[in-house]
């Protein structure tokens, strides 16, 4: 298969004759700003996958409660395998028996910039990332802080205090729909059943 070493774990977990998730993962990259996505994923348990485009792959975390706009909320974020950049557009069903079986929607997406004066890859390695998101639902500064090491590799995903912080907004519940198709998870499930 060749290709990007960083995507080996992603490939090894999936059967691309069964799932419609992106397979080849050619890290072609693109011009312009770096992108992020938050995919709402109803699998064995509901979670939100936060992904940042970094050097041709999507660095990924699973956030069980989803992102908050309230700086006092520290959301657990468990790192997951790098995904191909094409995954940023993925919305649909992952069939039963496949890794992550369930339904995925693009809950939010947009561009981001690194707020630290060092390369993002270095900030990731050090476990202290700060980015400014320009999404449709999520805007402003967000921090990702690693709190454990080795097998306890867990992170916290926290809104930073700025003019985009809002303790009263709760977009995870008030804006459940896809920014790509306008559909909710439940609508995607129903439409897939009808096919
Ligand atoms: Mn997931």
What's the rounded mean pLDDT across residues 181-185? 96
CA 108 to centroid of ligand 1, rounded, Å? 14
Residues 6+ positions from 86 with CB-CB distance below 8 Å: 22, 24, 25
Q: Buried b vs exposed e over 103-135: b needs ≥16 C-beta within 10 Å?
A: bbbbbbbbebebeeeeebeebbeeeebbbbbbb
pLDDT of residue 20: 86
pLDDT bracket for residue 1 (50, 70, 90): very low
Neighbours of ion ligand 1 (CB under 5 A): 41, 49
Q: Compute the distance from residue 103 Cα to the ligand 1 centre, in Å.
A: 9
pLDDT at residue 168 is higher than 80: yes
Distance 117 CA to ligand 1 centre (A): 30
pLDDT, one tens digit per residue, over 129-145 is 999 999 999 999 999 99
């Amino acid at each position: 298969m060749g290709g990007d070493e960083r995507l080996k774990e992603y490939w090894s977990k999936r059967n691309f004759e069964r799932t419609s998730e992106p397979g080849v993962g050619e890290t072609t990259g693109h011009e312009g700003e770096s992108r992020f996505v938050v995919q709402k994923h109803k699998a064995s348990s509901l979670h939100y996958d936060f992904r940042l485009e970094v050097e041709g792959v999507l660095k990924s975390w699973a956030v069980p409660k989803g992102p908050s706009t309230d700086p006092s909320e520290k959301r657990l974020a468990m790192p997951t395998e790098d995904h191909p950049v094409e995954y940023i557009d993925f919305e649909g069903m992952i069939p039963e028996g496949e890794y992550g079986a369930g339904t995925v929607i693009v809950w939010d997406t947009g561009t981001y910039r690194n707020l630290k004066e060092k390369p993002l890859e270095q900030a990731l390695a050090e476990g202290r990332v700060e980015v400014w998101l320009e999404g449709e639902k999520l805007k402003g500064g967000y921090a990702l802080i690693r709190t454990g090491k080795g097998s306890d590799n867990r992170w916290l995903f926290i809104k930073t205090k700025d003019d985009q912080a809002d303790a009263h907004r709760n977009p995870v519940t008030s804006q459940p729909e896809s920014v790509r198709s306008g559909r909710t998870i439940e609508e995607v499930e129903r439409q897939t059943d009808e096919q």
